[in-house]
Structure 1
Amino acid sequence: MTRRLPPLSALRAFEAAARNGSFKQAAEELAVTPTAISHQIRALEENLDCALFERRVRKVVLTDAGAQLYPVLRDGFDAFAEAIGRLRHRSSRTQVTISATTAFTARWLVPRVSGFRLQHPAIDLQFQASDDVVNVEAAGVDIAIRYGEGPYPDFAVLPLFADRFAPVFNPVLKIETLEDLAQRPQIAFQWRRRHPDNPTWSRWFAEAGLQPPFEQAQLRFSEESHAIQAAVAGQGVALASLALVKEELAARQLVQPFGPAISGFRHHLLIRKGETSKAIGEVVDWLRAEAAAEAA
């Protein structure tokens, strides 16, 4: 649909004059002469075929037609200014996009975001949480956090931390011995990539020197966070990443009284070669500092 509108310059001159109640003040605001404002408004009145102002000594007063037009233009220009201000603010900020698994994003990254924002208020973090392997370049990802030994061609790779897994459970289960533990449902989640060294219950029992209870009930989830939530709810014992249940252990929502804690793989930071910037470097430094604090 084609809009039949008067020139924007004339509408802008009218709005400024109506808001200030003066052609002179409108001219000062728009950095033109009062004569130019007068000409713009006269042209607008001719275009609309009605008077918009009553010209009085040292001031102008809106006519009924002008009073109808003014609030519409005022609100419209206010909306323009707000939208443009948001765009300018966004373009003046720096954004760094991080890709990680859903569980790692929710349970390791997100709880630390407030600390990052205090240190780097000018950098916006954007998270792409997915358990599928993301095409980093196509998705516009700056930093990818990957679990495993790779290989990761075409990336600069920095180690973050090595994971450890151990049995955790809600203390309401009152598990006091390894024999008690073996009688409780085992909570597990599906590893996306099969590997003989994945931290699994069978591997844990082997390293603990125990026979696995072959007939013991199990709860299996496709997503790691759901397995952790099931353990918090007291549904059984989860073999969980100690890094991802740190807050629950500190709050005594979960306990980890038994070893061994078996090793997992290492989390790595992947950065596209040639794509580094000061902001990316600051985010990388923050992530590695948080990982170092985790290991301390």
Structure 2
Amino acid sequence: MQRRSLPLSALRAFEAAARLGSFKAAAEELAVTPTAVSHQIRALEAQTGLMLFERQVRKVALTEAGAQLYPVLRDGFDAFEATLSRLSQQRTRAQVGISATNAFTVKWLVPRMADFRLRHPDIDLQLQASDDVVDLRSTAIDIAIRYGRGPYTGLSVEPLFTDQFAPVANPRLGVLSPEDLARVPLIRFDWRRAQPENPTWERWFAAAGRRRPPQAAQLRFSDEGHAIQAAVAGHGIALVSLPLVAEELAAGHLVQPFGPMIEGHTYHLAMHADRSPSAAVVAVAAWLRAHAARPGNEAAGK
């Protein structure tokens, strides 16, 4: 028998009658008449050429063929029910997609996920970490965290906070003053766009009114997150975003031994300009604003 010719209504009637042991009980479950159940099962027997039930006075019993068919149908219908129930539950949960840079996602969003789940247990976040600019119009992303000056054409944009950079190091290195920069490697990372306002070591030395030690070693990374991890591991002193290392500073894994701090770019919250946000998107945006407004952007739970 080919799949396209399977008599699904008759198979359903057979499964109910076999499970309940009665055409009448099966009819009540299926909201049809016992006669309709009997006709469907007779049609199934005629189509298969098999006797599936032994008809008795007040009940029915499975034949050998019926006993082989029943568990297959029972398990199949149980699987249908379980899968449809799971999919239905998934549809009832709101989902909000957030796009942000790799470093911001790992070092700022992820440490705050416990707080988000506590405050919004009915919303599922989908985090897309990428240093490439994501087009909100062609993706399922609802909110993008943009870093820079803009402009961000076609988006509804508002500033979250302006970044602050300062030297940080593992306390084991014993870096206490700018003079110590001559004996520890300077950790740096590459900016995707070379701009004079990028918070680089060159800018920091100019702001500090100091010359970079000519003998200072350097350790270079292509990603800010890797530079942060190198500093945590004690491989040198890094000039990185203070909001992104708030968790490490609070835990004592890093220290900010001296200034000055220099200003970085601004993080912006961007959403669709031509689409009304759902209640879940509004809630996520409000949660992001609340954490961005915390003094120093300290890690959640502090």
TM superposition score normalised by structure 1 = 0.94
**What's the counterpart of residue 223 of structure 2?**
223
Aligned-partner SS, 1:244:
helix
Give 1:81 shift.
Answer: 1.6
1:170 aligns with 2:170: yes
Note closer, same or farther for the CA distance 1:6–1:134 as it changes in structure 2 (3 Å cut): closer
Deviations 1:149-195 (A, max 9, x none): 11112221111011111111111212233212332111111111211
- Matched-pair contact (CA < 8 Å) for 1:168–1:240: yes
| Distance of 2:236 and 2:22 partners within structure 1 | 76
Deviations 1:71-119 (A, max 9, x none): 1111211222222223322333322211110111111112222322232
**What's the counterpart of residue 284 of structure 2?**
283
Give 1:294 shift.
Answer: 4.4
**What's the counterpart of residue 111 of structure 2?**
111
**What's the counterpart of residue 146 of structure 1?**
146
Equivalent residues in 2 for 1:60-209, closer than 5 Å: 60-209=60-209
- Matched-pair contact (CA < 8 Å) for 1:143–1:271: yes
Aligned-partner SS, 1:206:
helix
Note closer, same or farther for the CA distance 1:50–1:294 as it changes in structure 2 (3 Å cut): farther
| Distance of 1:294 and 1:128 partners within structure 2 | 26
Q: Name which of structure 1's ranges 197-206 and 134-143 shifts more when overlaid on structure 2.
A: 134-143
Deviations 1:32-82 (A, max 9, x none): 111111111111112111122222343222222112111111121122222
Number of residue pairs the alignment of both structures matches: 296
Identify unmatched segments of 5+ residues in structure 2: 298-302
**What's the counterpart of residue 21 of structure 2?**
21
**What's the counterpart of residue 8 of structure 1?**
8
Deviations 1:196-247 (A, max 9, x none): 0111111111212221123322111111111111111111111111111111
Aligned-partner SS, 1:107:
helix
Aligned-partner SS, 2:194:
coil
Give 1:16 shift.
Answer: 1.3
Equivalent residues in 2 for 1:244-259, closer than 5 Å: 244-259=244-259
**What's the counterpart of residue 261 of structure 2?**
261
- Matched-pair contact (CA < 8 Å) for 2:181–2:213: no
Give 1:9 shift.
Answer: 0.2
- Matched-pair contact (CA < 8 Å) for 1:165–1:242: yes
Aligned-partner SS, 1:256:
coil
Aligned-partner SS, 1:245:
helix
Q: Once superposed, what is the RMSD of the aligned Cα atoms?
A: 1.8
| Distance of 2:84 and 2:214 partners within structure 1 | 64
Question: Structure 1 segments of 4 or more deviating over 3 A?
Answer: none
Code of the residue aligned with 2:12 in structure 1: it is R
Code of the residue aligned with 2:51 in structure 1: it is A
Code of the residue aligned with 1:276 in structure 2: it is S
Identify unmatched segments of 5+ residues in structure 1: none
Quote the sequence identity (%).
Answer: 64
- Matched-pair contact (CA < 8 Å) for 1:6–1:44: no
| Distance of 1:117 and 1:104 partners within structure 2 | 18
Note closer, same or farther for the CA distance 1:23–1:186 as it changes in structure 2 (3 Å cut): same
Aligned-partner SS, 1:76:
helix
Give 1:290 shift.
Answer: 0.9
| Distance of 2:4 and 2:105 partners within structure 1 | 51
- Matched-pair contact (CA < 8 Å) for 1:101–1:131: yes
Note closer, same or farther for the CA distance 1:178–1:295 as it changes in structure 2 (3 Å cut): closer
Give 1:283 shift.
Answer: 1.2
Code of the residue aligned with 1:239 in structure 2: it is L
